[in-house]
Homo-oligomer: A and B are copies of this chain.
């Protein structure tokens, strides 16, 4: 019933497609995201989206790029200017939380081909990478920033993925947060010979 404007041309089909895609992703997961379903939901013929997206890949990449931006926002919101490992842990929690709250989106962001994908997408991930590097530089000024930021991102990312797959499950948000914090603490405390 949403043909509010019964005109031939939609007006802003591109945005409508992205919105529909997001909804389908939340509702039915990755599998439910078909161009045709998107078109149906946007109240438009099956082939109309092709005027705005070269193919399914392009649509997915656009959704993913949106996801990156949102994720970046959540991280920044978790702690504006982290100074110590606890602050970092808060950001880690936000990262994992994002993954668990939007599982299908997150998978799409990090699972699909990606490399040859849109530059929009590449730029968005580069931004995150840069952000992590900045964080690490601030909190661990004495470390090799390149290696350590790789390590930190990997750690948080892996934590997110393991939760997603149900390898680790955290019933309540608070349990999840505590588990993440515990992992961070354990990692920082870890030394083979000299604890503390």
Which A residues are within 8 Å of any B CB, using their own CB?
A: 29, 83-85, 107, 110-111, 113-115, 125, 129, 139-144, 146-148, 150-162, 165-168, 179, 182-193, 195
Q: A191 — which chain B residues lie within 8 A by C-beta?
A: 140, 142, 188
List 25 contacting pairs A-B, 8 Å CB cutoff, sorted by A. Answer: A83-B193, A110-B161, A114-B165, A140-B193, A144-B182, A148-B190, A150-B168, A150-B179, A150-B182, A150-B183, A151-B155, A151-B159, A151-B183, A151-B184, A151-B187, A153-B158, A154-B155, A154-B156, A154-B158, A154-B183, A156-B158, A158-B158, A158-B159, A158-B161, A188-B190
Residue of chain B at shortest CB distance from A189:
B143
Copies, count: 2
Query: Once the chains bind, are A167 and B129 in contact (CB under 8 Å)?
Result: yes
Q: A107 — which chain B residues lie within 8 A by C-beta?
A: 111
Residue of chain B at shortest CB distance from A109:
B165
Tell whether A166 pairs with B110 under 8 Å between CB atoms, given A141-B193, A142-B195, A144-B186.
no
Q: A188 — which chain B residues lie within 8 A by C-beta?
A: 190-192
Known: A143-B190, A158-B160. 15 other contacts (CB 8 A): A110-B161, A110-B165, A125-B165, A141-B193, A142-B195, A143-B189, A143-B195, A144-B186, A148-B186, A150-B186, A151-B186, A151-B187, A152-B187, A154-B183, A157-B158
